[in-house]
């Protein structure tokens, strides 16, 4: 077991000792400057994005395995206190890692696993990141949990705040579909509809985050903590494989944070001796209608030019992804790529995953399976290598993407004879 | 550890030894006559309903805890083979048991747990029963998994069959809402729409089950196996409480099978010495618009007069519940009751569970929480006794029940000033 000790920082003012577990400071991903833990997200030196740094103690597999059946079993590797499991949260994580043999056979892969995050409390991977953001908000004394969102994030914030008994405010575009409004409003969140598009909503949220006291915008001013939640995907995959790493992982890319934190999580597992060191190629998946990172990858660029999204994969439709450059770095460093598929392919692959594995994914899952299939066909993914794909959300949330395409095989009168006539030719 | 040895029966013809684990025979719940294991559901003596009988070996807690994190950890107590986990299924179960303190405080209960079955693969408790039915179908050499259904059961059958790589046929009324059709059709099941209501569909399904070879109608000819899956709710609750029983359980009643099998599961845990013997009161919950069992309970009857359902709780809308008399027996024997609440109360309690615990339940969950609240108000449930309520399904499947009732608090132009004006008076 390795002990990694970073520079020492004092606990933030007004915050209890151990509030952030083994996390000790924030560090700028651009210039490397460090700052104390707090509700900060931009480097005071260069305005670069901050992430959480740790002084890791010894962590053993047995210690983790004795923990709760949720992301809190990885508490020593997250910016949350040792008593985190005693607080009310939705306790996300420890979702199924599905041995996808039928899908693997169809794609010509030797061994494929689907990490199915539709099993989380509000049925997307956002429950992981929001749970960590909620802990940071509580420890920092912030009273309102908030976000701009059109879907999964809104559900996760509203549910987590309800469970924790704190106030939440969710900002949405006023023309959002009624079903999506219901799935967040049900948690009695303060839902504020903004006359404008998602960019307008986002801009307003950032302004509020900058001006108001006591607000935790999960993906703005507590973003460094929030983002750490995605590491638990890597931790769970490794533990569920029997404490070892796969050869290849295909990850959907919206802001890019999920991919970069999976990469970070793998690095931590290796550094702490929890798994054997081995190369893991990381691949990013986007929808063609919002593929700024895939375009930058193909062009050989290190930075990402913003695009205007137009895709049915709305949970991935971030035109100016904050982690874009770090995604490019991670995939190039590990030997992966970032690729994209069109909306038709997305729909086909939602259907393919349901047909072969009985898993109904939202559009983002169709993107990830679609890109996996494309990369195999193109000879980029190694079909003999053990592969994991992430399904980040639930098909019941994006029914419109497939309704009209699937339906009854036949409509019959309610008589046995009518059935036998049909079945004789369709058995 | 107790060993319970029932009468010995030969293995059914053409079925491998151990195909049904420790199950040894079928037994009539009406007259007690026994018959061999097979695709039988009605007693050959009296036409009464059959259930599965076992010759239990010694089963230890450690043995169960070493098993997979799904219902298959209880394999020794189910009619499935010892190698069940090696077959492709959706691996349901081991859903969250949520410590519902905020809801308990609001209801005036000392300790309340919500067993949240929306965390199952297709987000309802039906995944449990269908997984056991699928195993029986496979072991009996049946080639088609089928059901009549309008919702949760259709989703579960279609997904389980897709995952297992066998054919499924789902019969639905032709006027079913498009979203419900999509959520089953996505799994590439053979969906057959019938011109008629659910009763017509059901009648046709029973006729096909009686006439055709090779079909496993999960809730008809393999029903005895299917029903055993609900025992896993009792097993998980006990294990998640640290191998002990609660004082009171509130269970939704549709056919009544879930309640009677939870009662059976509790009895088995006690008989096998896996938990300490203690009385557990079992309460049944129905929607007033389909409350034949509650009506029979109040009238002091032992049999249930059929009703014509009219309620938003469609997953509980069975007007002629097969297990009705056995529900009456179980609640009376344990000291519980069967009660009902109207659709308005159902909706209020969907909202209450979401607001207090961050759990979005389908209408059946609103029924169960609503009945729990009513029984506390009426002094029937003991507020000082440890209580478990079952949430059997997911709110995303019954959005219509609450849409229009919840929504944005306010609609604002995209300007910070507009926000501060609102927030000043609403903070």
**At B348, is the pLDDT very low, low, confident or very high (cuts 50, 70, 90)?**
very high
DSSP 8-state assignment for residue A106: H
B381 within a domain of the structure (yes/no)? yes
* Tens digit of pLDDT at every position of chain A (427 positions): 333 444 456 666 788 999 999 999 999 999 999 999 998 889 999 999 999 999 988 999 999 999 999 999 999 999 999 999 999 999 999 999 999 999 999 999 999 999 999 999 999 999 999 999 999 999 999 999 999 997 999 999 999 999 999 999 999 999 888 888 999 999 999 999 999 888 889 899 999 998 999 999 999 999 999 999 999 999 999 999 999 999 999 999 999 999 999 999 999 999 999 999 999 999 999 999 999 999 999 999 999 999 999 999 999 999 999 999 999 999 999 999 999 999 999 999 999 999 999 999 999 999 999 999 999 999 999 999 999 999 999 999 999 999 989 999 999 999 999 999 999 998 7
8 Å CB contact between A61 and A222: no
- Check CB contact under 8 Å for A194 and B412: yes
For residue B205, the chain A residue with the least C-alpha distance is: A416
Closest-CA distance, B162 to chain A, in angstroms, reads 5
User: Based on the domain organization, do B195 and B239 belong to the same domain?
Assistant: no
d(CA A252, CA A290): 12
For B237-284, the pLDDT digits (tens) are 999 999 999 999 999 999 999 999 999 999 999 999 999 999 999 999
d(CA A4, CA B361): 44
Among A182, A215, A391, the residue to mutate for chain B (most B Cβ within 10 A): A182
HSE at residue B305, side-chain half, CA atoms within 13 A, is 7
How many separate domains does chain B show? 2
- Check CB contact under 8 Å for B351 and A174: no
Domain end marker among B221, B246, B280? B221
User: Based on the domain organization, do B206 and B254 belong to the same domain?
Assistant: no
pLDDT of residue B13: 72
B173 touches chain A (CB under 8 A): no
d(CA A72, CA B46): 54
Instruction: Give, in order, the Cα–Cα distances in Å from A202 to each of A137, A194, A318, A322, B410.
Output: 20, 10, 11, 13, 17
**How many other C-beta atoms lie within 10 A of the C-beta of residue B25?**
20
Closest by alpha carbon to A150, among A206, A218, A116, A197?
A: A197
Instruction: Give, in order, the Cα–Cα distances in Å from A173 to each of A155, A176, B160.
Output: 15, 6, 38
- Check CB contact under 8 Å for A410 and B91: no
Average pLDDT over residues B27-34: 94
User: Based on the domain organization, do B335 and B294 belong to the same domain?
Assistant: yes
pLDDT of residue A5: 40
Where are any strands of DSSP class E within A237-377? 248-252, 281-287, 338-341
For residue B167, the chain A residue with the least C-alpha distance is: A427
Specify the DSSP element, H or E, that contains A234: helix A231-240
HSE at residue A185, side-chain half, CA atoms within 13 A, is 21
d(CA B239, CA A389): 32
DSSP 8-state assignment for residue A281: E
- Name the residue among A158, A204, A395 with its Cβ closest to that of B419: A204
User: Based on the domain organization, do B306 and B388 belong to the same domain?
Assistant: yes
3-state secondary structure chain B: CCCECCCCCCCCCCCCCCCCCCEEEEEECCCCCEECCCCCCECCCCCCEEEEEECECCCCHHHHHCCCCCHHHHHHHCCCCCCHHHCCCCCCCCCCEEECHHHHHHHCCCCEEEEEHHHCCCCECHHHHHHHHHHHHHHCCCCEEEEECCCHHHHHHHHHHHHHCCEEEEEEECCCCHHHHHHHHCCCCEEEEECCCHHHHHHHHHHHHHHCCCEEECCCCCHHHHHHCCHHHHHHHHHHCCCCCCCEEEEECCCCHHHHHHHHHHHHHHHCCCCCCCCCEEEEEEECCECHHHHHHHHCCCCCCCCCCCCCCHHHCCCCCCCHHHHHHHHHHHCCCEEEECHHHHHHHHHHHHHHHCCCECHHHHHHHHHHHHHHHCCCCCCCCCEEEEECEEHHHHHHHCECCECCCEEECCCHHHHHHHHHHHC
User: Based on the domain organization, do B393 and B352 belong to the same domain?
Assistant: yes
A29 within a domain of the structure (yes/no)? no
B423 within a domain of the structure (yes/no)? no
**At B4, is the pLDDT very low, low, confident or very high (cuts 50, 70, 90)?**
very low
Chain A contact set for B413 (CB, 8 A): 194-196
User: Based on the domain organization, do A213 and A296 belong to the same domain?
Assistant: no
8 Å CB contact between A308 and A315: no
Residue A249 DSSP SS3: strand
Specify the DSSP element, H or E, that contains A193: strand A190-194
- The tokens describing B99, both together, are 């410590």
Chain B contact set for A192 (CB, 8 A): 408-412, 419, 422
Closest by alpha carbon to B207, among A136, A419, A69, A294?
A: A419
Average pLDDT over residues B390-409: 95
Task: Mention every residue, 6+ apart, whose C-beta is less than 8 A from residue B57.
Answer: B3, B22, B76
- Sequence length of chain B is 427
- Name the residue among A90, A119, A411 with its Cβ closest to that of B193: A411
User: Based on the domain organization, do A211 and A322 belong to the same domain?
Assistant: no
8 Å CB contact between B373 and A146: no
Higher pLDDT, B351 or A213: B351
Q: Give strand pairing partners of B51.
A: B27
Residue B101 pLDDT greater than 50, yes or no: yes
User: Based on the domain organization, do A272 and A382 belong to the same domain?
Assistant: yes
pLDDT of residue B8: 57
- Check CB contact under 8 Å for B186 and A414: no
**At B148, is the pLDDT very low, low, confident or very high (cuts 50, 70, 90)?**
very high
Average pLDDT over residues B46-61: 94
User: Based on the domain organization, do B380 and B396 belong to the same domain?
Assistant: yes
**Residues spanned by the domain of B160:** 141-221
**How many other C-beta atoms lie within 10 A of the C-beta of residue A211?**
11
B418 within a domain of the structure (yes/no)? no
- Name the residue among A178, A203, A357 with its Cβ closest to that of B162: A357
- Check CB contact under 8 Å for A407 and B162: no
For A:72-111, CB contacts with B below 8 A are 88, 90-91, 94, 96, 98, 101-102
For residue B191, the chain A residue with the least C-alpha distance is: A408
Q: Residue A165 sits in a domain of what CATH number? A: 3.40.50.1100
Domain end marker among A188, A221, A254? A221
d(CA B169, CA B158): 8
User: Based on the domain organization, do B366 and B325 belong to the same domain?
Assistant: yes
User: Based on the domain organization, do A248 and A393 belong to the same domain?
Assistant: yes
A35 within a domain of the structure (yes/no)? no
User: Based on the domain organization, do B293 and B340 belong to the same domain?
Assistant: yes
A40 within a domain of the structure (yes/no)? no
pLDDT of residue A4: 40
Domain end marker among A221, A236, A252? A221
**At B9, is the pLDDT very low, low, confident or very high (cuts 50, 70, 90)?**
low
DSSP assignments along A300-327, one per residue: T-SS--------S-GGG--SS-TTHHHH
B424 within a domain of the structure (yes/no)? no
B51 within a domain of the structure (yes/no)? no
């Amino acid at each position: 077991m390795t002990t990694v000790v970073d520079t020492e920082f004092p606990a933030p003012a007004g915050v209890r000792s151990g509030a952030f577990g083994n996390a000790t400071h924030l560090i700028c991903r651009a210039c490397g400057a460090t700052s104390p833990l707090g509700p900060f997200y931009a480097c005071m030196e260069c305005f670069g994005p901050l992430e959480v740094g740790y002084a890791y103690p010894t962590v053993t597999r047995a210690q983790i395995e004795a923990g709760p059946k949720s992301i809190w079993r990885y508490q020593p590797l997250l910016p949350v206190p040792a008593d985190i499991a005693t607080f009310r949260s939705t306790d996300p994580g420890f979702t199924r890692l599905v041995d996808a043999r039928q899908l693997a056979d169809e794609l010509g892969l030797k061994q494929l696993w689907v990490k199915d995050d539709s099993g989380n409390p509000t049925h997307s991977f956002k429950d992981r990141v929001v749970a960590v953001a909620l802990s940071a908000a509580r420890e920092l004394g912030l009273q309102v949990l908030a976000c701009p969102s059109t879907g999964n994030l809104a559900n996760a914030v509203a549910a987590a705040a309800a469970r924790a008994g704190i106030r939440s405010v969710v900002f949405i575009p006023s023309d959002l579909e009624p079903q999506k409004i219901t799935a967040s409003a049900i948690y009695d969140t303060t839902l504020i509809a903004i006359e404008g598009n998602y960019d307008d909503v986002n801009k307003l949220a950032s302004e509020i985050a900058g001006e108001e006291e006591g607000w935790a915008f999960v993906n703005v001013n507590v973003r460094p903590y929030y983002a750490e939640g995605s590491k638990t995907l890597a931790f769970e995959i490794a533990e569920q494989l029997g404490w070892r790493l796969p050869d290849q992982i295909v990850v959907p890319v919206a802001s890019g944070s999920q991919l970069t934190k999976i990469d970070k999580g793998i690095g931590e597992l290796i550094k702490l001796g929890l798994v054997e060191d081995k190369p893991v190629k990381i691949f990013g998946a986007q929808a063609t209608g919002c593929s700024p990172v895939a375009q930058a990858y193909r062009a050989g660029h290190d930075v990402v030019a913003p695009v205007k999204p137009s895709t049915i994969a709305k949970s991935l439709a971030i035109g100016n992804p904050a982690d874009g450059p770090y995604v490019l770095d991670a995939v190039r460093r590990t030997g992966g790529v970032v690729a994209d598929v069109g909306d038709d392919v997305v729909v086909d692959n939602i259907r393919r995953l349901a047909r072969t594995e009985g898993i109904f994914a939202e559009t983002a899952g169709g993107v990830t399976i679609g890109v996996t299939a494309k990369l195999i066909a193109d000879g980029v993914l190694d079909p003999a290598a053990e592969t994991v794909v992430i399904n980040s959300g639930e098909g019941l949330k994006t029914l419109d993407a497939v309704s009209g395409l699937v339906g009854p095989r036949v409509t019959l009168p309610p008589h046995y004879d009518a059935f036998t006539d049909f079945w004789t030719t369709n058995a």
